[in-house]
Amino acid sequence: MVLKVITYPNKNLFMKSKPVENFDENLHKFLDDLYDTMRAYDGIGISAIQVDKPIRAMLVLIPRQSQELDENGEFIAEQFKEDLLEIINPQFIELEGEQICKEGCLSVPDFYEDVKRAKSIKLKFFDRFGKEQILSADGLKAVCIQHEYDHLEGHLFIEKIGYTKRKKFDKDYKAKIKELKAKSEN
Ligand code: QAP
Ligand code: CO
């Protein structure tokens, strides 16, 4: 079931999410709905607060490209796979280096900007069954996990862009909301 995604400036996006306590059927149903929602909106990451549920859970779905080779190592085909991560009650163990990546957010539609984050991370979290997991990541996967972690803390990526870019964003976003409101009233 696809859930409704709340968008900026909805103030619930600035709430700190609470740890998950029960790894039960209700949680599993919710995670499945969160997945349907991420897919429906074409996201690579989503956190529970974005569907107005302030619990410390996120999904990350990063595409992975690999080459299918035959027994002689000759190229057969390009394969496109993706790894789904269900991350509950995460805690960073390591944050190292720096990288800059253009980010977007389902809760800030049609806006993309460069954000500086750690290059590689090590994370402790729980899966949907309450089993503890350890994960190392870099590149886009590390960026996405840090972006979603910020949601759990009540932060958005627009808080991490420079002052001038933020001012321009505020102006453009307000104008866009006004325009959408005028359209819906016609
Ligand atoms: C966070 O964001 C992220 O504006 C996940 O119209 C983004 O999936 C981490 C999206 C980039 C790392 C790099 C945004 C879809 C999806 C939009 C998303 C839109 C439709 C954002
Ligand atoms: Co986001």
Confirm or deny that 28 is annotated as ligand binding. no
pLDDT range class, residue 132, cuts 50, 70, 90: very high
The confidence band for 36, taking pLDDT boundaries of 50, 70 and 90, is very high
pLDDT band at 35 (very low <50, low <70, confident <90, very high): very high
**Is the minimum distance from the CB of 109 to ligand 1 under 6 angstroms?**
yes
Ligand 1 atom with minimal separation from the 109 CA: 4
Residue with CA nearest ligand 1 atom 13? 103
3-state helix/strand/coil string of the chain: CCCCCCCCCCHHHHCCCECCCCCCHHHHHHHHHHHHHHHHCCCCEEEHHHHCCCECEEEEEEEEEEEEECCCCCEEEEEEEEEEEEEEEEEEEEEECCEEEEECCCCCCCCCEEEEECCEEEEEEECCCCCEEEEEEEHHHHHHHHHHHHHHCCCCHHHHCCHHHHHHHHHHHHHHHHHHHHHHHC
CA-proximal residue: ligand 1, atom 5 (nearest): 45
151 labelled as ligand-binding?
yes
Asked if residue 117 has its Cβ within 6 Å of ligand 1, the reply is: no
On the question of pLDDT at 83 being above 90, the answer is no
Q: What is the per-residue pLDDT across 48-80, written as a single tens digit (0 to 9) for each? A: 999 999 999 999 999 888 889 999 999 999 988
List the chain domain ranges.
Answer: 11-161
Range name among 13-27, 54-68, 90-104 with the lowest pLDDT average: 54-68
The pLDDT value given to residue 137: 97
Query: pLDDT at position 56, please?
Result: 99
Give the pTM: 0.95
Per CATH, domain 11-161 is 3.40.1390.10:
no
The predicted-structure confidence for 102-113, as pLDDT tens digits, reads as follows 999 999 999 999
Query: 105 in ligand 1 pocket by Cβ < 6 Å?
Result: yes
